[in-house]
Amino acid sequence: MRAVVVGPEGEPAVAEVPEPDGPGDLLRVVACGLCGSDVEKLDAAHAGAVLGHEVVAELDDGRRVALVHHASCGECERCLAGHESTCERFAAPTIRPGGLAELVRAQAWVEVPAGWPDWRGTMVEPLACVLRGAARVPAGRVLIVGNGFIGRLFGLVLERRGHDVFAVDTDPRRAGRRPDGPVDAVVLAGRGGVETALACVKPGGTVVVFAEAGVIPAGEVYRRELTIVGTRSAAPPYMSEAVALLHDLDVPEPTVLLLERFAEGLELHRRRDALKVVFTL
């Protein structure tokens, strides 16, 4: 079957790979989004890996489902405290070999409406990640640093919840409304941005770290009594919540390409000429 595989030097290519075996149901993939975390894996250390986890697949009866990327146990101390992504079971893959493949083995999913375009279904997983992160953002004035696709999702969710939302980005094409004063919280949704976050958050404020945005100086946290909150990935319950919310959320429409055009889509992502790229199979 065809899949996007990381090569020995870290560059990906569409190649033939064996059909996956092992636990889980064998499903046909119909669409998969390209995530920034996929692009981060483009190095020699990940040679042989199949990319992709924002997946819509088809069941035997024709229903479309969005696949759960990782699953925690839901019972350990970490899960019960709301830190599901640190559960010892969480690291185990639930989509094999990866979503940018014609067939996958999957262990969990949520059904998506039959009338949705397939690209919309690929947004369930990233939106679920954002919903889990948004739950950690205190009410008030919020600045999103890094206004790419994930930043836009944060903005949509937080505005819907009544926050006053601002957004900045190193790319002027993506910058949103800039804050006119200190903010109560900052969401770091892109690389870099720590300096901007610290310049804008008020004393006693909160910085929610959703991306590897750089080093946050401990002295600033100490002197200004900031709260630093980390959040990554999604927990399965947020997948169902994401499906329900996507009925009403005006999400940005992505650039949709056939899998054979992966190199073109990757270049659009790298040049930041596409806010989001989704591949269909």
The predicted structure's pLDDT at residue 213 = 85
Position 128 confidence tier, pLDDT thresholds 50, 70, 90: very high
Mean pLDDT of 18-35: 95
The predicted structure's pLDDT at residue 71 = 86
208 phi/psi in degrees, rounded to 5: -100, 120
Residues 6 or more apart in contact with residue 201 via CB below 8 angstroms: 143, 182, 183, 184, 185, 186, 207, 224, 226
- Residue 274 pLDDT more than 90? yes
Mean pLDDT is lowest, of 30-44, 80-94, 266-280, for 80-94
The predicted structure's pLDDT at residue 210 = 95
Under 8 Å between Cβ of 255 and 274: yes
Mean pLDDT of 127-133: 97
Handedness of CA 136, 216, 40, 94 (dihedral sign): negative
The predicted structure's pLDDT at residue 214 = 87
Mean pLDDT of 41-48: 95
Q: What is the DSSP letter of 85?
A: G
In the chain, where the domains are located: 2-129+233-280, 137-230
Residues 6 or more apart in contact with residue 258 via CB below 8 angstroms: 279, 280, 281
The predicted structure's pLDDT at residue 281 = 93
CATH number for the 2-129+233-280 domain, one of 1.10.645.10, 3.40.710.10, 3.40.30.10, 3.90.180.10?
3.90.180.10
Position 191 confidence tier, pLDDT thresholds 50, 70, 90: confident
- Residue 33 pLDDT more than 90? yes
The residue whose two tokens read 């000429």 is 273
The predicted structure's pLDDT at residue 50 = 97
Q: How confident is the model over 143-180, as pLDDT tens digits?
A: 999 999 999 999 999 999 999 999 999 999 999 999 99
If 0-12 CB within 10 Å is exposed, 13-18 middle and 19+ buried, where does residue 171 land? exposed
> Domain 137-230 adopts which CATH fold?
Rossmann fold (3.40.50)
The predicted structure's pLDDT at residue 92 = 87
The predicted structure's pLDDT at residue 189 = 96
- Residue 91 pLDDT more than 90? no
Same fold, 2-129+233-280 and 137-230: no
The predicted structure's pLDDT at residue 236 = 84
